[in-house]
Amino acid sequence: MRYNEKELQALSRQPAELAAELGMRGPKKGSVLKRRLVKLVVNFLFYFRTDEAEPVGALLLERCRVTQEEPSGFSISFMEDPERKYHFECCSEEQCQEWMGALRRASYEFMRRSLIFYRNEIQKMTGKDPLEQFGISEEARFQLGGLKA
């Protein structure tokens, strides 16, 4: 699949939601744990060698599942192949919880559901649609009907 790699590289240089040096192990059998600088930017998780400015790779965080594996470790897997896991090791349980929370909230789909929820709540409380002032109340992406199970 073709993709705009230059723009993805530029994205990896943007301000991060969360960034830390973690242990990382790929999904292939026999992968070893490596130290990587891991950076969460919008719905992408970039991982860098600790002394390099360009990322080794990126994971799009849509339709993924974040699972606690050990007290200070978690894994990311994707819906189309739940057994294929990217493993991450943190330095503490607290760091692990922080990353898991952030990654679960990092998808576009999660943001969309949050927006629909807040819109609904505000509308219930005030009787007014808060998206009207931004001129986006008719956007298909923000409609209640857009929510899928």
Partner 1 sequence: MKLNERSLAFYATCDAPVDNAGFLYKKGGRHAAYHRRWFVLRGNMLFYFEEPASREPVGVIILEGCTVELVEAAEEFAFAVRFAGARARTYVLAAESQAAMEGWVKALSRASFDYLRLVVRELEQQLAAMRAGDCPPPPRRPRALPPKENGCAVWSAEPPPAAAAALILSPAGAAAPAGSRPGPAPPPLPPRRRAWAPNGPPHAGSFARLHEWYGQEVRALRSQWLGSRSRAQP
CB of 68 to partner 1, least distance (A): 16
CB of 74 to partner 1, least distance (A): 15
Convert 93-117 to b/e letters by CB count within 10 Å (16 or more is b): eebbeebbeebeebbeeeeeeeebe
Whose CA is closest to 38, among 3, 82, 88? 88
CB of 96 to partner 1, least distance (A): 10
Question: Of 23, 33, 34, 42, which lies in the binding site for partner 1, with binding defined by CB under 8 A?
Answer: 42
Strand (E) or helix (H) holding 8? helix 5-12
Can residue 60 be called a binding residue for partner 1 (CB under 8 A)? yes
Question: Of 25, 55, 66, 85, which lies in the binding site for partner 1, with binding defined by CB under 8 A?
Answer: 55
Can residue 81 be called a binding residue for partner 1 (CB under 8 A)? yes
Asked if 72 contacts 89 with a C-beta cutoff of 8 angstroms, the reply is yes
Can residue 148 be called a binding residue for partner 1 (CB under 8 A)? yes
**What is the distance between the alpha carbons of residues 74 and 87, in angstroms, rounded to a whole number?**
6
At 35, which amino acid appears?
R
Kindly write out the interface string for residues 105-124 of this chain, putting x where it contacts partner 1 by CB under 8 A and - elsewhere. Answer: ---xx-xx-xx--xx-xx--
Nearer to partner 1, 15 or 30 (CB): 15
CB of 14 to partner 1, least distance (A): 6
Dihedral sign, CA of 96, 49, 3, 5? positive
Can residue 33 be called a binding residue for partner 1 (CB under 8 A)? no
Length of the chain: 149
Kindly write out the interface string for residues 11-30 of this chain, putting x where it contacts partner 1 by CB under 8 A and - elsewhere. Answer: xxxxxxxxxxx---------
